[in-house]
Amino acid sequence: MPVNIYLTRRIPQPAIDLLSSYFEVSINPHDRNVRRAELLEHLKDADALLCQHTDSIDRGVIDSAPRLRCICNNAVGYNNIDVAYATEKGIAVCNTPGVLTEATADLAWALIMSCSRRIVESDKYVREGNFTGWEPMLMLGSDIYGKTLGIVGMGRIGEAVARRSAGFGMKVLAYHPRRPLGESPEGWHYVDLDTLLKEADIISLHVPLTPETKNMIGRDELRLLKNSAIFINTARGAVVDEEALIEMLTSRKIAAAGFDVYIDEPYVPPELKALSNVVLLPHIGSATVETRTAMAMMAARNAIAIFKNETPPSRIN
């Protein structure tokens, strides 16, 4: 009997080729997320699943797949999977950490610079024919060099963002619940969350979505920010009280924000779209050819290793 793997979305071809050398590969043919009924149907005969962070792999999905031995998430985060239930069923769960660190850190910096210097707003201004010549008060933004960068979550991506700040002569404040307070060997200052939010000029989020981090930046936390603060989220939408943040941006109680993630993707609140002091991206933190290919190759190697009874590159459970 062939060993079957189902892919919920098409991934870069090198990873498909690698999988095809070991599995019978079936792929969702549509340029959209797989629908639940389609997923349940395909998993009846699947031995392995390669899914995306947009796919909900809950108890019902797992129960529909009697042959399933591994769930390979093509993402670092895995809050879309009921890992505890998969573990109970003896199903391996894998993810793709590390390979998207630098691309996501680059994107966080793209948002920092776009917000600080009003890049998107200025581009729109020019395209609409409003530019009539240099003006001394036109599109004034804020400096990045010499400012204080606050990083919430100092995992791989948070540290990569912090390293990039050296070229801007910035002071780095970092919050991580399992790191001691004080200065690190890199010169970063580990502080409590309230201190970071009060003192940082730019705040960048890099925590996974867990029960502990859901809504960790709520209304009370947002009120601690400076009026001049810039807020960046490339982590997960539900880490922040989106409604409270919109209110703060609308009333200009904080200066600007950059988003790559939202609470109920792909829905983006119209109130957010209407604001000129925000930059909105369609969840493209890892969206480079090199990184997405590396992610898919890791996911493929995870699946193959499970069926070869080898240690996969990254197993969660």
> Are 133 and 93 in a shared domain?
no
Distance CA 291, CA 104 (A): 9
Distance CA 286, CA 289 (A): 9
Distance CA 59, CA 65 (A): 10
Structure tokens at 111: 């948002």
- Note the pLDDT of residue 77: 86
> Are 163 and 299 in a shared domain?
no
Residue 119 lies in a domain: yes
Residue 316 lies in a domain: no
> Are 255 and 107 in a shared domain?
yes
- Is the confidence at residue 58, as pLDDT, over 90? yes
> Are 257 and 269 in a shared domain?
yes
Contact 269, 246 (CB under 8 A): yes
Which pTM was predicted?
0.89
Q: SS3 of 148, please?
A: strand
Q: 41, 88, 265, 310: which one is catalytic? A: 265
* Per-residue pLDDT tens over the stretch 70-114: 999 999 889 999 999 999 999 999 999 989 999 999 999 999 999
In the chain, % helix, strand, coil (3-state, to 5) comes to 35, 15, 50
Q: Got the DSSP string for 156-175?
A: HHHHHHHHHGGGGT-EEEEE
Distance CA 39, CA 283 (A): 23
- Please choose, from the candidates 46, 51, 43, the residue with its C-alpha nearest in 3D space to the C-alpha of residue 4: 46
> What CATH number does the domain containing 184 carry?
3.40.50.720
- Note the pLDDT of residue 119: 98
Q: What radius of gyration do the chain's Cα atoms show?
A: 21
Contact 267, 239 (CB under 8 A): no
Distance CA 78, CA 96 (A): 10
Distance CA 52, CA 59 (A): 17
H or E segment and range at residue 49 = strand 48-51
Residue 174 lies in a domain: yes
Distance CA 217, CA 33 (A): 29
Q: 36, 164, 283, 315: which one is catalytic? A: 283
Residue 232 lies in a domain: yes
* Per-residue pLDDT tens over the stretch 218-274: 999 999 999 999 999 999 999 999 999 999 999 999 999 999 999 999 999 999 999
- Is the confidence at residue 1, as pLDDT, over 80? no
- Note the pLDDT of residue 2: 78
- Please choose, from the candidates 70, 17, 77, the residue with its C-alpha nearest in 3D space to the C-alpha of residue 46: 70
Range of the domain at 254: 101-280
Residues in CB range of 306: below 8 A, 6 or more apart: 48, 69, 70, 92, 94, 312
Beta bridge partners of 118: none
> Are 227 and 118 in a shared domain?
yes
Domain count within the chain: 2
Q: How confident is the model at residue 123 (pLDDT cuts 50, 70, 90)?
A: very high
Q: SS3 of 29, please?
A: coil
- Note the pLDDT of residue 242: 95
The mean predicted confidence, pLDDT, of the chain is 96
236 is an active site residue? yes
> Are 120 and 193 in a shared domain?
yes
> Could you count the other beta carbons within 10 Å of the beta carbon of residue 36?
14
Beta bridge partners of 258: 232, 279
Strands ordered across the beta sheet of 171-175:
182-183, 189-190, 171-175, 148-152, 202-205, 230-233, 256-259, 278-280
Q: 236, 242, 292, 301: which one is catalytic? A: 236
- Note the pLDDT of residue 270: 97
Distance CA 269, CA 151 (A): 25
